Chain A
């Protein structure tokens, strides 16, 4: 499901027209992005938690290249769905 279909589906439940719904949708995800970048963590009730994690520098082996590789440190976004949500998925 892409963004358009999602917006269409949500728009049925709300009073917004197509354009306004898209505005609100985009603005909300922009704010979410800003919040993640600023606060490094975001909790969404229905879904789960977005958190920026830091991975430290480490060494790995590449058997294909027969070489030892030093990986740089990295900040990455981790999403952890809520336990209840995962349970529902399993069901």
Chain B
């Protein structure tokens, strides 16, 4: 809620002008700020208190604000845990207090803006200051500090510099919220070339090609017989190929068309070639021939390696140059559009006619959710939805397309032909893209690096490594025969000679000689073999010499590059996740203190003496005290002090011998209930006792009622206004005795004098019945009294109670003192003009 919403709401609630309400609320907060600035506290009932406190440090003192919410409001906030209270879990036996040093208090807040809270039950400020519980003042709490949390946030905006270490693309879930995603920096590897780069194809003919090349020229027009023979041989070829395939890949192409029997007899066809060579050229020793052949193979391998190395270094340089160019122009560096990563347009999936993503339908169809979807994943497309083909410009530059590249390339790479995967193939394999009307990233001319490139790059490294392995094998063989590199450059063109000779030779007489040997057993039709020409390789003249030093240097470079590749490969395999690396970096940069010192080590405990300032912070309850502990940091953290002797937690705080049973909350509640019951019982007992005492008093102290004696017969003639006073019968009805006058007055008791002497007026009533009851009560107590009726002006009549006639005033007073105790009592319990029926 912001201010405008608050103003509008209040204005609508109270039906007031919004501007006026806005001004008012603005002035509320403004005035509050001004008041607090002046150092005055603010108390808002049912909300809380803003208290300005002063903090004194060594250099200066300054003020800070604390806010304590009202009890009701605090309870509302803590409603989820309102039923919980602190629980004693363990009794401690702290005998050796010397282990605990007490030093001066330091209430300095680490963070000035950090505010402490004191929950108080009262609303007035006065009571807040007065409350200082005695018991809790002795309490000093030591907090076992929990493991500090890593407060530093991992920056969301990961820059290119930080992310460069990963070289790993993120797998992003479909339809995630739009966030700023670090762009994966991927260096483009060497592009995989076609069959030319395959090492085996340069040295040896590929089996399929060799077969094709053999079969085509076998159609000989010279003789029908040979045709027939060839056809017969063709039928056997298929069978032979199966058996000879593994041999063909390792051996020379000459054995491709060799019949089965021949292979069985001559397991090493190389030897058969050499036998022909020896017949035509010179005689060389058996070992030398072998060495020459191996040398030939090594040289050819070297050429391939060198070529691969050159290609690789070229491509590496190109990538470096590209990377350098991209660094210079960071804006043009990548074609990834991070803003559009999560847009619908970049998500491959099924969409309906209204361009809604059919996620529910996909899940209902049992499809396991992936980031990229293909047509194969949706055997049954739900009704109303259709797949959309990608745009004509082919795969874009976003993550999803790259991921799909990987998926497709995986399928392709698993096959034999690595180079079969092209952009067009990928395009055809793509199933769904769409334009949802959202801004779509337009691919730029410069194509950014894609995951496909990395996968191909890895394949290149694999190939190179395999070449290196074969090279090592060949060198080992050379060493086996005593040939040490670098050897003397004797006849550099020597290895070419047997190859040229092989090209010219025709294996024609071999079969004849063998046939002669086995003619006695069975007849085999004549077969003529034409030797296929070996594809010529143009070896550069500078590399025909055994320039092993240069080669070795390049190989070292290659090894370095392969090491880099391996590291890259590890990243791509996902062994190291980017989040983990970020986390590890953070941990390295900011080692947590807890990890340095284990929690089991418990050095000297240092407790701060609260001092004078503690008065302001004396807690009102256990909860508050414990709360303050955390805020104020009463105990200085242990890690700032040198460890003299390592002590465990149990060494310092030994468990008490008496088993301690933790008190549960229920028992506390039961105790409370018992207290309330006790109080109710006591109250009930007191009430019953007071009622009983009242009735006892009434029954014992008060005499039984007696009927009044109507001596004058006035009861009968109550309505008749008569002179009833027996004191002076001469008085006329309704007249005032003028001779009677007041002598002395003591409160309501009036001493009067008339012609006969002195009389005492005890009381007066408006009603005659009340006066009569009063007189009868006096009679019961042996006090003789009379009623005197006096008619006053304005038709007011008084009935005065008069006692005696005394000769002197003193006599009247003495009489009143002796018997006046009872009169006074009656006077007390029967107020003036409201006589009670005694």
List chain A positions with a Cβ less than 8 A from chain B. Answer: 1-3, 6, 9-10, 13-16, 20-21, 23-25, 27-29, 31-33, 35-37, 39, 42-47, 50, 52, 55-56, 58-81, 83, 85-86, 88-90
- Chain A residues positioned under 8 Å from B66 (CB to CB): 79
Please report the C-alpha to C-alpha distance between residue A13 and residue B28 in the assembled complex, in whole angstroms.
Answer: 10
Please report the C-alpha to C-alpha distance between residue A85 and residue B65 in the assembled complex, in whole angstroms.
Answer: 10
Please report the C-alpha to C-alpha distance between residue A81 and residue B88 in the assembled complex, in whole angstroms.
Answer: 36
Q: Which of A20, A63, A72, A86 contacts B64 (CB 8 A)?
A: A86
Please report the C-alpha to C-alpha distance between residue A32 and residue B16 in the assembled complex, in whole angstroms.
Answer: 19
Closest chain B residue to A79, Cβ basis: B67
- Chain B residues positioned under 8 Å from A52 (CB to CB): 77
Q: Is the CB of B90 within 8 A of A75?
A: no
Asked if B614 CB lies within 8 Å of chain A CBs, one says: no
- Chain A residues positioned under 8 Å from B80 (CB to CB): 75
- 22 inter-chain pairs at a CB distance below 8 angstroms, sorted by A residue, are A1-B42, A2-B43, A13-B27, A24-B10, A33-B76, A46-B32, A47-B29, A55-B630, A63-B141, A64-B135, A64-B136, A67-B660, A68-B653, A69-B88, A75-B81, A76-B117, A77-B74, A78-B115, A79-B65, A79-B115, A80-B113, A89-B62
Asked if B139 CB lies within 8 Å of chain A CBs, one says: yes
Interface residues as binary, B1-41 with A (CB distance below 8 Å gives 1, 0 otherwise): 11100100110011010001101110111111101110011
Q: Is the CB of B76 within 8 A of A37?
A: yes
Q: Is the CB of A76 within 8 A of B86?
A: no
- Chain A residues positioned under 8 Å from B355 (CB to CB): none
Closest chain A residue to B62, Cβ basis: A90
Complex interface residues of chain B between 49 and 96 (CB less than 8 A to chain A): 50, 52, 62-67, 69, 73-74, 76-81, 84-94
Contacts A3-B43, A35-B6, A71-B623 supplied; 7 other A-B pairs, CB < 8 Å: A56-B146, A62-B622, A63-B141, A63-B607, A66-B656, A70-B87, A70-B88
User: Chain B contact residues: over half helix, strand or loop, or mixed?
Assistant: mixed
- Chain B residues positioned under 8 Å from A89 (CB to CB): 36-37, 52, 62-65
Q: Is the CB of B24 within 8 A of A16?
A: yes
Q: Is the CB of A32 within 8 A of B47?
A: yes
Q: Is the CB of A14 within 8 A of B32?
A: no
Please report the C-alpha to C-alpha distance between residue A36 and residue B20 in the assembled complex, in whole angstroms.
Answer: 24
Closest chain B residue to A53, Cβ basis: B77
Given contacts A14-B24, A42-B1, whether A70 and B42 have CB atoms under 8 Å apart is no
Q: Is the CB of A27 within 8 A of B113?
A: no
What's the nearest-Cβ distance from chain B to residue A90, in Å?
Answer: 4
Asked if B521 CB lies within 8 Å of chain A CBs, one says: no
- Chain B residues positioned under 8 Å from A6 (CB to CB): 28, 31-32, 35, 42, 44
> How many residues of B sit at the interface, in one of the four size bands?
35 or more
What's the nearest-Cβ distance from chain B to residue A18, in Å?
Answer: 13
- Chain A residues positioned under 8 Å from B43 (CB to CB): 1-3
Q: Is the CB of A46 within 8 A of B23?
A: no
Q: Is the CB of A73 within 8 A of B74?
A: no
Closest chain B residue to A27, Cβ basis: B10
What's the nearest-Cβ distance from chain B to residue A51, in Å?
Answer: 11
Please report the C-alpha to C-alpha distance between residue A56 and residue B617 in the assembled complex, in whole angstroms.
Answer: 22
Q: Which of A23, A60, A85 contacts B626 (CB 8 A)?
A: A60
**Residue among B66, B69, B140 facing the most chain A CB atoms (10 A cut-off):** B69
Asked if B299 CB lies within 8 Å of chain A CBs, one says: no
The 5 tightest CB contacts between A and B, nearest first, are: A72-B84, A79-B67, A68-B90, A64-B139, A90-B62
- Chain B residues positioned under 8 Å from A56 (CB to CB): 146
Please report the C-alpha to C-alpha distance between residue A70 and residue B79 in the assembled complex, in whole angstroms.
Answer: 19
Please report the C-alpha to C-alpha distance between residue A45 and residue B25 in the assembled complex, in whole angstroms.
Answer: 11
What's the nearest-Cβ distance from chain A to residue B53, in Å?
Answer: 10
- Chain B residues positioned under 8 Å from A27 (CB to CB): 10, 13-14
- Chain B residues positioned under 8 Å from A55 (CB to CB): 630
Asked if B497 CB lies within 8 Å of chain A CBs, one says: no
Q: Is the CB of B88 within 8 A of A10?
A: no
Please report the C-alpha to C-alpha distance between residue A79 and residue B44 in the assembled complex, in whole angstroms.
Answer: 15
Q: Is the CB of B629 within 8 A of A21?
A: no
- Chain B residues positioned under 8 Å from A67 (CB to CB): 88-92, 660
Please report the C-alpha to C-alpha distance between residue A60 and residue B30 in the assembled complex, in whole angstroms.
Answer: 41
Asked if B716 CB lies within 8 Å of chain A CBs, one says: no
Given contacts A31-B6, A64-B135, A90-B63, whether A20 and B143 have CB atoms under 8 Å apart is no
Q: Is the CB of A25 within 8 A of B28?
A: yes
- Chain B residues positioned under 8 Å from A85 (CB to CB): 33, 36-37, 65
Closest chain B residue to A21, Cβ basis: B24
Q: Is the CB of A46 within 8 A of B78?
A: no
Asked if B757 CB lies within 8 Å of chain A CBs, one says: no
- Chain B residues positioned under 8 Å from A58 (CB to CB): 143-144, 146, 630
- Chain B residues positioned under 8 Å from A35 (CB to CB): 1, 6
What's the nearest-Cβ distance from chain B to residue A5, in Å?
Answer: 9
Please report the C-alpha to C-alpha distance between residue A69 and residue B88 in the assembled complex, in whole angstroms.
Answer: 4
Asked if B138 CB lies within 8 Å of chain A CBs, one says: yes
Please report the C-alpha to C-alpha distance between residue A46 and residue B88 in the assembled complex, in whole angstroms.
Answer: 43
- Chain A residues positioned under 8 Å from B35 (CB to CB): 1, 6
What's the nearest-Cβ distance from chain A to residue B35, in Å?
Answer: 6
Given contacts A14-B27, A32-B47, A73-B84, whether A61 and B653 have CB atoms under 8 Å apart is yes
Q: Which of B14, B20, B136, B146 contacts A15 (CB 8 A)?
A: B20
Interface residues as binary, B447-478 with A (CB distance below 8 Å gives 1, 0 otherwise): 00000000000000000000000000000000
Please report the C-alpha to C-alpha distance between residue A16 and residue B73 in the assembled complex, in whole angstroms.
Answer: 28
Q: Is the CB of A46 within 8 A of B91?
A: no
Please report the C-alpha to C-alpha distance between residue A42 and residue B76 in the assembled complex, in whole angstroms.
Answer: 16
What's the nearest-Cβ distance from chain B to residue A26, in Å?
Answer: 9
- Chain B residues positioned under 8 Å from A31 (CB to CB): 1, 6, 9-10
Please report the C-alpha to C-alpha distance between residue A40 and residue B76 in the assembled complex, in whole angstroms.
Answer: 12
